[in-house]
Structures are given as structure tokens and as C-alpha cells.
Amino acid sequence: MQKPVSYTKVGLDLFYVQLTWTFWALGIFLLINIFRLIFLDYVDSYYSGGYIAANIYMLVIGIIAINFLPYYVENGITRKNFFVGNVLASIGLSLVIPILIYVISFFEKLIVHNFTSIVLRNHTLEEVVEEVTTDIDGNIIGEIIQSIILTPFINPEANLILSLALFSLHIFVFYIIGWMIGAAFYRLGVIGGLIFIAIGLALIVLKDSMIRLVLDIPLFQNFTALANIPENLALPFVFIIVLVSIILIRLLTKRAPIKI
């Protein structure tokens, strides 16, 4: 009798596949960064640029992740083992990607500073505060977009461990939100998927706002009511958002029909 495949084996397989995609994505982004270095003399560092790009990347591969479900179920893997395995894989990716981007950025700085006159820019917490307070005009759509693109940032030169930890948290949330949206489209169809896009955007805005409270960064104008949440509850609220998202994914995939 064939031994059942464990969730750890599924997690390692999914981690390897998605890490392979990640190497390609980081390589493409590095080429873009090199192109900008050639034609510009004042650009964001690879770390600062990767901080933004990684959010969008993880959201996209999170949406794609649901497509692994039919493959695993057809090969005798339970939905539970797929779910747990991919949660572990997403955690692994969220830990590894910031480190990879930081290492690439470190060598980029060594080369650029020693052989060129190009200035690499890393955002500071003060610059983030200035950015979020300068271009806000009260448009809620614009503020939601900024919550996705302009996530709270800490310069790794100021506090490397905290910067990497915050980076990991951001991209993990984006991955599970993407996975939740993909699962909703798979299980519930277009209408259900659109509803979960709205839910996902709301969760991203809540996560972003809670982290701004923790870091003492101004909230966007339309979300200032969230400032009433006590600061000591802001970080636990982020983990509640993560937990709610994961539970919703489990509910969506637990009995999802397999589409061939």
C-alpha cells in the first residue's frame, strides 16, 4: 500500500516550485534595475524597489496557487495536506525573499559605490511619512492603491532585523490575500471572486493601517477612524487579519470540486 504523502512533502514541493519562479522574477527585476542604473544617476536601491515589487509578485503567485489544488488531489493528496503544505511554503517564501533581495542589494551597493558615481537611494521612515502625507487628496481609490504600493518601510541600514521582518510580513499577507482571491474565483465563480477581491482589499488596508499605527506613520485620510484602535492592539490585529484570511482559504478549499 502506498504511503500517504505528508503536508511537509507537499510544502517542500510547493516551496521549490515557487522559489524557482522567484529566482526568475528577481532576475528580471535585477535586469530592470541595471537598465535604470545605466540611464539614470539617482535611483532606488534594489532593496527599496524590491520591497514594492515583491508585494505585487506575491499577490500574483498567491492567486495562481489555487491551480495546484487539482494536480495534488488527482494524485491522491488530501485538500488538507495541500492547504497546510502551501501555508508552510508561503511562510518559507516570505522569509527567504527579503533575505535574497537584501543580499543582492548589498552586492549592488558594493559594486555601484566602488566603480560608479551613481547614488542609490534607500527610503527612510521620515521619507515614507512625507510621501504618505504629501500626495493624499482624500480619494479613497487612490488611498487603497497607495496602501498596496506604498507599504510601511524601514531602512535596513537603520534596523536590519526589523526591516526584514516587516518585509516578510507584508509579502506573506499579500500571498495569502492572493490565494484567498484565487480560491474564491475557483470555488464561487466570478461574482464570488469579485466579492473576495473587495474583502482582500479591505484586509490589506486594515493591515497597512495597523502597521502605520505601530510605526507612528500617519493614516490615510479616509481611514483615520482606525486611529481609535489602541496602539498596543494594532499588531495583534494584524495577526488576526492573517488568521482570518487563512481560515477563509481553508473554508473555500475544504470541499472545492476538482475542475479538470
Q: What's the pLDDT score for residue 4?
A: 64
Q: What's the pLDDT score for residue 117?
A: 56
User: Left, alpha or beta for 76 (phi > 0: left; psi -120 to 50: alpha)?
Assistant: left
- Exposed/middle/buried for residue 214 (C-beta within 10 Å: 0-12, 13-18, 19+): middle
Unique residue bearing C-alpha cell 494594532: 234
Measured CA to CA in angstroms, residue 2 lies from 5, 68, 75, 76 at distances of: 9, 21, 12, 10
Q: What's the pLDDT score for residue 129?
A: 47
Q: What DSSP designation does 219 have?
A: P
Q: What DSSP designation does 159 have?
A: -
Q: What grid cell was written down for 249?
A: 482559504
Q: What's the pLDDT score for residue 200?
A: 94
Helices and strands per DSSP (H, E), number in the chain: 8, 2
Q: What grid cell was written down for 218?
A: 500617519
- Exposed/middle/buried for residue 240 (C-beta within 10 Å: 0-12, 13-18, 19+): middle
CB 20: neighbour CB atoms within 10 A?
A: 10
- pLDDT-flagged residues of the chain (< 70): 1-5, 39-43, 113-139, 260
CB 140: neighbour CB atoms within 10 A?
A: 12
Beta bridge partners of 42: 119
Q: What grid cell was written down for 176?
A: 495569502
- Rounded to 10 deg, the angle between the 231-253 and 79-115 helix axes is 130
- Rounded to 10 deg, the angle between the 140-149 and 46-64 helix axes is 100
Q: What's the pLDDT score for residue 136?
A: 52
Residue type, 221: Q
Q: What's the pLDDT score for residue 42?
A: 61
Question: Cα–Cα distance between 56 and 20 in angstroms, integer?
Answer: 17
- pTM over 0.85? The answer is yes
